[in-house]
Chains A and B, each alone.
Chain A
Amino acid sequence: MFMTWLPLITLSPSHRDHLLRWLLWGCAGVTGGVLVCILVFLILEAMPALHQPGWHRFFTDASWHPAEGAYALWPMLAGTLLSTVGALLLAVPLGIGTAVFCYWYAPAWLAVPYQRFLELLAGIPSVVFGFWGLVTLVPLINQWKPPGSSLLAGMIILTVMILPTTSLLSHASLAQVSTESLCAAAALGFGRWGTLRHVVIPSCRSGLFTAGLLAAGRALGETMAVLMVCGNVVQMPSSLFDPIRTLTANMALEMTYAVGLHRSALFVSGLVLLLLVISLVGSATWISRTPRHG
Chain B
Amino acid sequence: MVATWGAALVLLVFFGLLLGDLLRHGLAGLSWEFFTSPPRHAGREGGIAPILVSTGLILGVCMLTALPFGLGTAVLLAEWTHHRSRTGALVRRSLDTLAGVPSIVFGLFGNAFFCVTLGLGFSIVAGGLTLACMVLPILIRSAEEGLRAVPHDYRLAAAALGLSRATTVRRLLIPAAIPALLAGFILGLGRAMAETAALIFTSGYVDRMPTSLWDSGRALSIHIYDLSMNVPGGDARAYSSALVLIALLLAINAGSMWVGHRLASKRILAA
Considering the complex, give the chain A residue whose CB is closest to the CB of B22.
A128
The reply to whether A34 and B98 contact each other, CB–CB distance below 8 Å, is yes
- Interface 9-residue window, one of A51-59, A62-70, A160-168, A231-239: A160-168
CB contact list, A33-89 vs B, under 8 A: 34-38, 41-42, 45
A186 within 8 A of B: no
Residues of chain A within 8 A (CB-CB) of B151 are 178
Considering the complex, give the chain A residue whose CB is closest to the CB of B113.
A37
Residues of chain A within 8 A (CB-CB) of B195 are 125
Main secondary structure of the interface of B (DSSP, over half): helix
The number of chain B residues with a CB under 8 A from chain A is: 99
The reply to whether B69 and A30 contact each other, CB–CB distance below 8 Å, is yes
A126 within 8 A of B: yes
The reply to whether B165 and A17 contact each other, CB–CB distance below 8 Å, is yes
Residues of chain B within 8 A (CB-CB) of A26 are 72
User: In the complex, which of the residues A36, A128, A173, A276 contacts B242, with contact meaning CB atoms closer than 8 Å?
Assistant: A128
Residues of chain B within 8 A (CB-CB) of A193 are 1
The range of chain A's interface size is 35 or more
The reply to whether B183 and A255 contact each other, CB–CB distance below 8 Å, is no
CB contact list, B1-46 vs A, under 8 A: 1, 3-8, 10-12, 14-15, 18, 21-22
Given A119-B190, A252-B197, A285-B89, A14-B103 contact (CB < 8 Å): no
The reply to whether B83 and A281 contact each other, CB–CB distance below 8 Å, is no
The reply to whether A106 and B90 contact each other, CB–CB distance below 8 Å, is no
Closest CB in chain B relative to A204 CB, distance in Å: 9
Closest CB in chain B relative to A168 CB, distance in Å: 6
Separation of A126 and B189 alpha carbons in the complex (Å): 14
Considering the complex, give the chain B residue whose CB is closest to the CB of A122.
B190
Residues of chain B within 8 A (CB-CB) of A13 are 164-165
Residue of A19, A106, A224 most packed against chain B (CB within 10 A): A224
Residues of chain A within 8 A (CB-CB) of B15 are 117, 121, 160
B119 within 8 A of A: no
Considering the complex, give the chain A residue whose CB is closest to the CB of B82.
A5
The reply to whether A41 and B113 contact each other, CB–CB distance below 8 Å, is yes
The reply to whether A42 and B105 contact each other, CB–CB distance below 8 Å, is yes
Closest CB in chain B relative to A181 CB, distance in Å: 12
The reply to whether B83 and A2 contact each other, CB–CB distance below 8 Å, is yes
Closest CB in chain A relative to B85 CB, distance in Å: 9
The reply to whether A270 and B8 contact each other, CB–CB distance below 8 Å, is no
Separation of A173 and B165 alpha carbons in the complex (Å): 25
Residues of chain B within 8 A (CB-CB) of A97 are 3-4, 6-8
Please give the residue numbers on chain A whose beta carbons come within 8 Å of chain B beta carbons, in ascending order.
1-6, 8, 10-14, 16-17, 19-21, 23-28, 30-32, 34-38, 41-42, 45, 93-94, 97-98, 100-102, 104-106, 114, 116-129, 131-132, 136, 160, 163, 165, 167-169, 172-173, 175-176, 178, 192-193, 206-207, 210, 213-214, 216-218, 220-224, 247-248, 251-252, 255, 270, 273-274, 276-278, 280-282, 284-285
Apart from the given pairs A223-B103, A248-B104, A274-B97, 11 other A-B contacts in the complex at a CB distance below 8 Å = A1-B148, A4-B78, A11-B159, A11-B168, A30-B69, A31-B140, A123-B245, A128-B242, A163-B11, A218-B99, A274-B101
